[in-house]
């Protein structure tokens, strides 16, 4: 039964079982028809036997009557010489023709096995009939001589009739016995076939019900497990073929797709939670970063206000130092606000490049010079390798390139202590090649994968320990793409990081060729 389920579909099984049942009923009907035909043959044989017997009896009586009539007429002809009337002669000839017709009819009833008997009968009877016809046709001729008193032909005919009658009776008995045996056999076959048909039909129906119920039961169990949330369950599609197998496969595909959809929803929820946590961390970092310069501005401004109100002479050097601190904190605050505004413009698609011709070497020197206090703050060493002669002017966005260099340089200074910071710039073909490398703390592979994401820092404690909002590198990557270039990172944990920037020297030409 498992083989049937595995190889045949439900429709094929129904067709197969129906064909088997129809075949059994067809055999039953054929057997019944065979028996009916045998009964019909028996009736035909019995009717032919009765008809032949009646014909033989009629022939014997007719031969006897005509024999007696001819003997009487022969005696009258010799004694009285009275002629035979035409009407009497024609009547006698008609009777002889009737005997000939009965004889031919008897030959037509021959059922096989009586050919020789009939041929002998026909030969002797024909000879006798010819003698009788000659007698009647020449009765009135005085010169005609007849040997009608001789009984040889008559006795031969009667003997042949009796032999044929016995043969017919013998064959009829044999045929009747054979037909009876056939009828009995067909009756037994019909009864056996009918009982067998019922039994096999019941077995086939039970087998079909069991196989179908087993297939549907597996589908039911699978659907129940799917409904209970077990989307890892898979129905065995090899155990059923056809419609049920396809239905099981459909349920498996639906479960897989639903599982994938649930996994996608969970992943999306996890990403949303991570993004929400990152933004919460970003807000905390931003609030901290904003408060730091604001506290310095407010604190030093209050100190200056107190010093001005003091009647003693103002310490100009201290006054100048405090103003410098205020200015530095204000610029730091402005830089944070600009980073947030830049990111907002990038995300809304409102950030565009304002191209102009400028010398990138000069810009790199200016940025590094202005940020040199960050280098000495952690006892780092700056190494500049800028190809001034081979650089030339480029056509790009000056402010964005400046911010790229600033953010990369600041990031290197932030995570490096008592190490080296190297800035390399050169022109390679149609691209400006810029590398900012350090020997700082470096990053793991996982940290490198998310370092360019907005609101994300390498570690949760990075903002607390080193400061920053996590926007700098994200803005650098977006600016590089806006300028038609790209940025790549190479880093080893504990051995430093290297950021490599490639920007077209003529952005308009690069866009035109693209």
Residue 512: predicted pLDDT: 39
As given in the structure block, the two tokens for residue 210 are 């069991």
Residue 197: predicted pLDDT: 78
DSSP letters along 319-356, please?
HHHHHHHHHHHHHHHHHHHHHHHHHHHHHTT------E
Length of the chain: 514
In a domain, 224, yes or no: no
Residue with tokens 């024909």: 126
Residue at which a domain ends, from 298, 331, 351: 351
- Tens digits of residue pLDDT in 197-255: 788 788 877 877 777 777 677 777 777 776 777 767 776 666 666 666 666 677 677 77
Question: Phi and psi for 230 in degrees, rounded to 5?
Answer: -85, 80
Task: Categorize the per-residue pLDDT at 28 as very low, low, confident or very high, splitting at 50, 70 and 90.
Answer: confident
Residue 424: predicted pLDDT: 92
Looking at the fold, whether 179 and 291 belong to one and the same domain comes out as no
Looking at the fold, whether 190 and 206 belong to one and the same domain comes out as yes
**CATH number, position 463:** 3.30.565.10
Residue 511: predicted pLDDT: 47
In a domain, 290, yes or no: yes
In a domain, 134, yes or no: yes
Residue at which a domain ends, from 301, 331, 351: 351
End-to-end CA distance of the chain: give it in Å, rounded: 67
Where are the strands (E) in 95-152, listed by range? Answer: none
Residue 463: predicted pLDDT: 47
In the chain, count of helices (H) and strands (E)? Answer: 15, 7
In a domain, 222, yes or no: no
Looking at the fold, whether 169 and 246 belong to one and the same domain comes out as no
Domain that holds residue 247: 235-351
Residue 30: predicted pLDDT: 79
CB neighbour class for 2 (10 Å; exposed up to 12, middle 13-18, buried from 19): exposed
In a domain, 220, yes or no: no
3-state secondary structure of 493: coil
- The structural domain count of the chain equals 3
In a domain, 261, yes or no: yes
DSSP H stretches of helix in 144-241: 152-227
**CATH number, position 329:** 1.10.287.130
Pair type for strands 420-428 and 394-396: unpaired
As given in the structure block, the two tokens for residue 216 are 């549907």
Residue 435: predicted pLDDT: 93
Task: Categorize the per-residue pLDDT at 85 as very low, low, confident or very high, splitting at 50, 70 and 90.
Answer: confident
Pair type for strands 394-396 and 486-492: unpaired
In a domain, 445, yes or no: yes
Looking at the fold, whether 347 and 375 belong to one and the same domain comes out as no
Looking at the fold, whether 208 and 248 belong to one and the same domain comes out as no
Residue 67: predicted pLDDT: 84
Residue 254: predicted pLDDT: 74
**How many other β-carbons are positioned within 10 Å of the β-carbon of residue 422?**
17
């Amino acid at each position: 039964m498992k083989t049937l389920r595995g190889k045949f579909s439900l429709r094929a099984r129904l067709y197969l079982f129906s064909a088997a049942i129809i075949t059994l009923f067809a055999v039953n009907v054929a057997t019944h028809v065979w028996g009916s035909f045998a009964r019909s043959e028996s009736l035909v044989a019995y009717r032919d036997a009765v008809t032949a017997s009646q014909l033989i009896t009629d022939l014997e009586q007719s031969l006897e009557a005509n024999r007696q009539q001819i003997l009487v007429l022969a005696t009258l002809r010799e004694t009285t010489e009275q002629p035979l009337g035409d009407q009497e002669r024609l009547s006698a000839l008609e009777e002889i023709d009737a005997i000939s017709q009965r004889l031919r009819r008897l030959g037509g009833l021959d059922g096989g096995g009586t050919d020789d008997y009939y041929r002998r009968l026909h030969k002797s009877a024909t000879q006798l009939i010819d003698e009788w016809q000659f007698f009647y046709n020449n009765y009135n001729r005085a010169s005609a001589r007849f040997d009608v008193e001789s009984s040889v032909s008559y006795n031969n005919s009667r003997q042949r009739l009796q032999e044929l009658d016995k043969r017919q009776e013998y064959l009829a008995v044999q045929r009747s016995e054979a037909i009876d045996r056939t009828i009995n056999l067909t009756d037994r076959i019909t009864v056996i076939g009918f009982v067998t048909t019922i039994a096999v039909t019941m077995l086939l129906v039970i087998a079909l019900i069991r196989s179908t119920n087993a297939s549907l039961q597996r589908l039911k169990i699978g659907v129940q497990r799917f409904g209970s949330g077990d989307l890892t369950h898979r129905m065995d599609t090899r155990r059923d073929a056809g419609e049920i197998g396809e239905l099981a496969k459909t349920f498996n595909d639906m479960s897989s797709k639903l599982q994938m959809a649930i996994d996608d929803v969970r992943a999306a929820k996890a990403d949303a939670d991570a993004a929400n946590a990152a933004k919460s961390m970003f807000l905390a970092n931003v609030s901290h970063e904003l408060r730091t310069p604001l506290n310095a501005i407010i604190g030093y401004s209050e100190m200056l206000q107190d010093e001005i109100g003091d009647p003693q002479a103002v310490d100009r050097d201290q006054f100048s130092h405090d103003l410098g601190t205020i200015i530095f904190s204000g610029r730091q605050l402005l830089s944070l606000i600009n980073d947030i505004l830049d990111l907002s413009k990038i995300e809304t698609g409102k950030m565009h490049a304002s191209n102009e011709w400028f010398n990138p070497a000069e810009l790199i020197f200016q940025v590094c010079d202005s940020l040199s206090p960050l280098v000495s703050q952690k006892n780092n060493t700056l190494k500049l390798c800028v190809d001034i002669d081979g650089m030339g002017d480029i056509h790009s966005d000056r402010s964005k390139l400046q911010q790229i260099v600033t953010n990369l340089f600041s990031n290197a200074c932030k995570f490096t202590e008592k190490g080296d910071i190297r800035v390399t710039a050169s022109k390679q073909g149609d691209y400006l090649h810029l590398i900012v490398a350090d020997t700082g703390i470096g990053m793991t592979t996982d940290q490198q994968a998310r370092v360019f994401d907005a609101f994300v820092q390498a570690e949760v404690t990075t903002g607390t320990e080193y400061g920053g909002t996590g926007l700098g590198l994200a803005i650098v990557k977006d600016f590089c793409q806006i300028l038609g270039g790209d940025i790549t990172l190479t880093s080893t944990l504990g051995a430093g990081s290297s950021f490599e920037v490639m920007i077209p020297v003529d952005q308009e030409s690069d866009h035109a060729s693209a």
